[in-house]
């Protein structure tokens, strides 16, 4: 299951990524477009500024997921990129894969895990629709684990009642006259 920042926001059309890094000349952003490093227009600088802001937002969003997920995270965050007019790649989307499976035969552990999954999904300041969907599935997992725990409770209560009865009988005391609470 992936949680992440998938709202692309208003960005200019994507250009194919290149491995050629952009250069900086005299404080002005320039791109490697085969020329001698022409300065970006005001419009291009505005696009770069938007892409930089988006990149920061996406990286912070995914870092919040990763930090909250802890051991549930499956590897590093992955990003989708857009190349700006300065020929640099900017993250415009991302995701963190996490383990969302229930813990087999352990509803108490599944409940704790579901709570951790929900916390990881909702960790960013502005969770995406995908984040909310993961949190909803984690809530369903928690409810299922709680139902399983409730179903186990009467059986465990009866078992414990029998154990206490055996202990008391060994000590010469009887549970006669007491009703079992199940």
Q: Find, among 37, 16, 162, the residue nearest to 89 by Cα.
A: 16
Whether residue 179 is contained in a domain is answered as no
Whether residue 178 is contained in a domain is answered as no
Q: pLDDT tens digits for 37-87?
A: 579 999 999 999 999 999 999 999 999 999 999 999 999 999 999 999 999
Whether residue 7 is contained in a domain is answered as yes
Whether residue 182 is contained in a domain is answered as no
Look up the domain containing 162 and give its range. Answer: 2-170
Count other C-beta atoms under 10 Å from residue 163's C-beta.
Answer: 10
Residue 98 to residues 3, 68, 115, 124, Cα–Cα distance (Å):
8, 11, 13, 15
Whether residue 152 is contained in a domain is answered as yes
pTM to 2 decimals? 0.68
- The pLDDT score that the predictor gives to residue 159 is 73
Whether residue 181 is contained in a domain is answered as no
Whether residue 149 is contained in a domain is answered as yes
Whether residue 51 is contained in a domain is answered as yes
Which residues of the chain are under the pLDDT cut of 70? Answer: 1, 5-37, 160-161, 165, 168-169, 171-182
Domain count, the chain: 1
Who contacts 119 (Cβ-Cβ below 8 Å, separation ≥6)?
68
């Amino acid at each position: 299951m992936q949680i992440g920042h998938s709202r692309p926001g208003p960005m200019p059309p994507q250009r194919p990524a290149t491995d050629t890094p952009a250069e900086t000349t005299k404080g002005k952003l320039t791109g490697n477009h085969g020329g001698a490093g022409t300065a970006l227009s005001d419009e291009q600088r505005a696009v770069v500024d938007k892409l930089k802001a988006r990149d920061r937002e996406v990286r912070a969003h995914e870092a919040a997921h990763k930090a909250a997920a802890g051991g549930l995270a499956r590897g590093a965050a992955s990003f989708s990129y857009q190349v700006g007019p300065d020929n640099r790649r900017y993250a415009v989307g991302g995701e963190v894969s996490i383990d969302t499976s229930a813990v087999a035969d352990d509803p108490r552990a599944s409940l704790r895990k579901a709570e951790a999954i929900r916390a990881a999904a909702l960790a960013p300041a502005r969770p995406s629709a995908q984040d909310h969907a993961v949190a909803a599935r984690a809530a369903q997992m928690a409810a299922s684990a709680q139902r399983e725990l409730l179903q186990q409770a009467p059986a465990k209560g009866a078992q414990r009642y029998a154990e206490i009865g055996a202990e008391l009988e060994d000590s010469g005391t009887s549970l006669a006259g007491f009703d079992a609470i199940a």
